[in-house]
Amino acid sequence: MAELQLELKEKIIEQLSLEDVEVSEIGDNDPLFGDGLGLDSIDALELIVMLEKDYGIKLKDPKEGKLIFESIGVMAAYIEKNRTK
């Protein structure tokens, strides 16, 4: 689980072009949207693509993303449970 969380942090920094952010600055329970990392609706869509591409999880409704992308911790737990690759 800790490994997956680290992997997610690296991927998020890379995929969402958070160039000035370090892995160590993202806490497992920090909110990703709003006041946290300041991600927006397009970032959420990018994360949906990432779920499908890297973990074989397909979301149909972007609203589902809101709950899943709450924090790295929540996201990792969801991926563990639902991944197909």
Q: Binding residues for another protein, per CB under 8 A?
A: 16-21, 38, 40-43, 45-46, 48-49, 52-53, 61-62
The tokens describing 67, both together, are: 């709950």
Which residue number, 27 or 38, has a Cβ lying nearer to another protein? 38
**What is the Cα–Cα distance from 76 to 1, expressed in whole angstroms?**
7
Q: How long is the chain? A: 85
What's at 25, amino acid-wise? E
Which residue number, 1 or 23, has a Cβ lying nearer to another protein? 23
CB 17 to another protein: min, Å: 4
